[in-house]
Every structure is written in structure tokens, then in C-alpha cells.
Chain A
Amino acid sequence: MHTVTVTQDEVKKIAKLANLKLPDNEVELFADQFTKTIEVVNHLNEINTDSVKATYQINGLSNVTRADEVDEKSVLSQETALREAKKTHNGFFVVERLIDSDAEELI
């Protein structure tokens, strides 16, 4: 039985993976809630799935392809593509600095 207590440290680690900043009170709250949620999820261990394959795609479709051709109707103009961004520069999206930044070490 895979019993799990989700610790506050784990919550902090997950928050980093998910690129979410959590105030301290939420870290504690989530640790407690996740532990309870995992308890519910752990009921799944009561079902034997030893020789059962996972289903990822429920309508049986696979390898649905299209011709490698540009459909102009599906292409956004640069102006439209940039329109909703908060920061643009000379027709580019502006992103936060990643290289040579002071960001904490990546997990």
C-alpha cells in the first residue's frame, strides 16, 4: 500500500516544477490537502492491474497525420500573434532573462 504523506518540502519542490510561487500559508495548506487527496487516490491499489495495459487515448485513434503543407488560413499574422503579449520588442515576444541570470539552480 503506497501510503504517502506529502511534506511541505515536497510542496515547495512541486511548486517550483510547476512554476508557481506559493505564500507560506498555502504551502502548509496544500501539504495537508494533497495528503488527503492521495489517500483517496490510493483506493486504486485495491484494483488488480497486473496484466492490464494503460489507456491513454480512449477513441482508439493513433498516428493521425496531415500533409506537410502550410494552410495559410491556420497561420496567424505576426501582428495578431503579438497583439495580446504584455511586452514585445521589434516584432518579438519579450521573455525573462534565463541565461546568466540570478535565478536559483534548476531542479
Chain B
Amino acid sequence: MKQLHELTIKEVLDGYKNNDFTCVELVKHFLNRIEKYNPKLNIYLALNENALEQAAVVDKEITEKGITRPLLGIPFAIKDNFLTIGMETTAGSNILKGYMPQYESTVIEKIKSAGAIILGKTNMDSFAHGSSTETSDFGPTLNPWSIEKLPGGSSGGSAAAISAQLATVALGSETAGSIRQPAAWCGVTGLKPTYGRVSRYGIIAMASSTDSPGAIGRSVEDCAIVLEVISGKDNKDATTSPSLIERYSKNLEAPDLRGVRIGIVKEYLLSNMRDDVKNLILNAADKLRLLGATVDEVSLMDPKYAIGVYTVIQRSEVSSNLARFDGTRFGGTRDLFCEETKRRIMLGTYTLSAGYYDAFYKKAQAVRTKIISEFDEIFKTYDAIIGAVSPSPALSVGATKNQPMFGEMEDVLLEPSSIAGLASVGLPCGFVDSLPIGLQITSNQLKESIAIKIADCFQRHTEFQLFPDLDKTL
């Protein structure tokens, strides 16, 4: 008999329908768990004081109307860069401590319209500048698998919330790796949609040309259900795609992958990668073959170039986006930025400055064109490419100290697909040293359905959806 915190979205909705439990009971259950485990793990920065009240309203709706909304009464953990009216939003930074948003993110509006309950705001690298959650001004989040380890980042709080089972599903965002990498380090599933599939309106900006809000959950199915709700053109975000939203939640439970062509990227099995990590990825490729897919080795540009491209583009766009934090209309003064944020703003200012713009920014954007055309070429033949998410399992707390390019180095395998705005699912594919390892399944822009189909089929035929026993870990 599953416990309440172990239920998927479908199981929660069925439970409500069958009167197995109420929304108030489910929310209370999570709040109790949060009270017990959050102090040690530092996952939530703030909780929704009205959660139980809102849950009672949901129960009334269920009684009167039944389940007519896709996320009715589903408890969410929200990364703290999504503006939420009535709840402090800090982006993990002291400069926004105490900031109460004056408008709401489109994605939050959408999940609320779908009936979701927000449990709280999760910890993240300050302004999303990191791949560890260690640059948060409010202390690192710890990995629920081992408290000496980091959960990854920048959506570390959201990924840890799912791993620690302190919410049914979570929202995160990815600029280059920030959904998939913490999902991998925490052993959960993350879905980074195509750039422009989901509105960025009301999400504190990092790099405007790659930021992609997405879902982190127990399963591909849960992420797909959320994606269907949050996708869509938004008049408030001119970069959103006018493409019709597919029924992502209906593209699941394929019995096999016959006819699917997958490329395993040889360069994503880095020479300095541990053999045990490599083997898990090769095993995953074998599993996909057993499911009927063709899996061929393919070759792409060495991902080290993506580091250069991403570093320049991201830091340049960061320097522009963070100019708005001047302490005049909201927030504190610029001396409150943490060191990592200052570093990124300054490097970006440098690469955009007169005399260097052509050598760095323009050059990076030209190499970006090459990366994109290379992917376009590969996707003429293949439906998806796979590889590892991260070169290693979760690193230890403190690993980011004195590492000015920690984030960009850690995310080397994810930067190419982020730079090109591709859709990608990151899901667990095994363990090394008792820590989870993630597999990425990446498809071309607006083809998330195929990545979801492959990931879902792989997940249903393997048993890697595991969750730590917190009473043992903590």
C-alpha cells in the first residue's frame, strides 16, 4: 500500500475520486514531512501559509464537481525564481530577500488554473548561477541520497523535493543543465522543454536565449502531464512558440520502441568519464535496443566548444538581465550580489564591451550556428540522441569552492542541447557509489513527444525510480 508521498499525479487524482483521502490530508501529510526533514535538507526556503485553506477549497470542488481540472489538488514544489503572488520570491539571493512579487509568472497562473496547490518555494543557486545549489545565499540544499553530497543545480531544491518526497511534483528551469543535472544527481526525472515551448514571463531571467521552464517529478508521465498544462504561446513572452500544444500526457505507455532510431553520442561518453558511469549509459543503450529501437553510435562536435559558447552567451545575457537590480524599484542594492553572480555579470560585461564584442559574443553566436546545424543534420536520420547527463554522480558539499567555472564544466554534456534550444528528458539509469546517474534523451525542437515516448518506455521497462529512506540518510 503506497504512502501518500509516494503517489504519482494520476494516483493522487484517482485517490481523490475514490475518496481514499482528501486534499487536506495529502497536503497535511507533506507539511508534516517537510517539518520533519526540511531543517536538515534545506529544500524549501518558504512555505505557502494558505496551503491547507486552499486544500479545503479543493476538497469542496471535488465533492461538488469531481475531478475536472488536470492538476486539481496536486501539491507542487516551486523553484524560487518563479514569481508567486503572496509568497516571497528571492531567486536564492539576498538582493531579493523579502521581495513580494507584484505580478505572477504565466506558468504559475497556468498550474493554479489547473487546480494545483503550491506547498512552497525551493532553494536554488543564487539567480540560477550554478550547478550545485551551493551558491544560494541561504545555504546549500543537501542531497537526500547522502547529506555530504550536493543535489546539483540550479534547480537543486526542486529536484531534492521530489527525491525526498516532499511534494508530488516540482517546477524548475534550465538555462543549460539546471533541470536535468539536479534531476540526475537526485535520481529523479526532469523534463527540459524546447526553448519557447513554455513562457518565461514572470520567471527571474538568467540567459534569455536559452532559459526553459520545465518539470521535475517522480516519473516521465508526471513531467509530461505538467508540460501539457504549462506549454503554450503567451502574449507576454514574445519568444514563445505559436506551435500547437501536443497531448504530451497521451504519448505514453508505448509497448516498445520499434521503428525508433536513436543515436548514442560518442563525444558524450567523455574520455575522463568513469567507466562505471559509461557502462550505465551503454547498458541503457542496450536496453533501448531490446525494446526495439535502433541505437547507433553518432558523432557530434566536441562538447568542450559548447562550454566556450555557453559561457560567453550566458554571462553576456546575465550581465544585461541583472542590470535591472539597482535597488530603485525593488530589491536591495548591488553590493548584495554574491561572488558568483558578480563574477558572471562582470565576465558578461567584458565580453560585450567595445573591442571584445566581435571576438567573443559574435564569435560564440557563430559557433552556436554550427552546433545547431549539426543537430539538424543528425535529426534528419535519428529521432533522438542519448548520453550521460553528468560526467559523475553528485559531488560533495564544498566542491564548488574556488572553481570559477564549476557550473559550465559540470554541464558540458548538456550545454550543446541547451544552446540549440532542444527538448530533453533526464531520467535515472542506475547507481554508482550508491548515488544516482542520469541518462539524457534529447530530441529536436518541438519534438518533445518523441523524447517523452522513449524515456517513458525505458522507464516502464526498468526499475530505476528509487527514493532514499530519509530516516537512514539523515
Binding site for B on A (CB under 8 A): 2, 6, 10-11, 14-15, 17-22, 26, 30, 33-34, 36-37, 40-47, 49, 52-59, 61, 64, 66, 74, 76, 80-81, 83-86, 93-95
Contacts and interface: CB of A to CB of B under 8 A. Distances in A.
A36 to B, nearest CB: 7
Closest 9 CB pairs of A and B: A54-B365, A49-B366, A84-B330, A58-B421, A33-B404, A64-B238, A44-B308, A18-B349, A59-B196
Contact of B370 (A14, A15, A47, A80): A47
Given A26-B339, A47-B370, A49-B370, A57 B363 contact: no
A54 B369 contact: yes
B347 A53 contact: no
B236 A74 contact: yes
A64 B242 CA distance: 10
A47 B319 CA distance: 26
Contacts of B100: 83-84
A57 B312 contact: no
B308 A42 contact: yes
B305 A43 contact: yes
B235 A59 contact: no
Contact of B195 (A11, A36, A58): A58
A90 to B, nearest CB: 16
A85 B342 contact: no
Contacts of A76: 102-103
B329 interface: yes
B300 to A, nearest CB: 13
B346 A11 contact: yes
Nearest to B197: A59
B323 to A, nearest CB: 7
Instruction: Give the interface residue-count category, chain B.
Output: 35 or more
Contacts of B331: 84
Contacts of A18: 319, 323, 345-346, 349
Contact of A43 (B308, B337, B343, B405): B308
A73 B209 CA distance: 26
B40 interface: no
Contacts of A37: 311, 347, 404-405
B420 interface: yes
A84 B330 CA distance: 5
A20 B359 contact: no
Given A44-B305, A59-B421, 10 more contacts: A6-B350, A14-B349, A18-B349, A30-B342, A37-B405, A44-B367, A52-B366, A58-B195, A58-B372, A58-B421
A44 B102 contact: no
A85 B420 contact: no
B404 A36 contact: yes
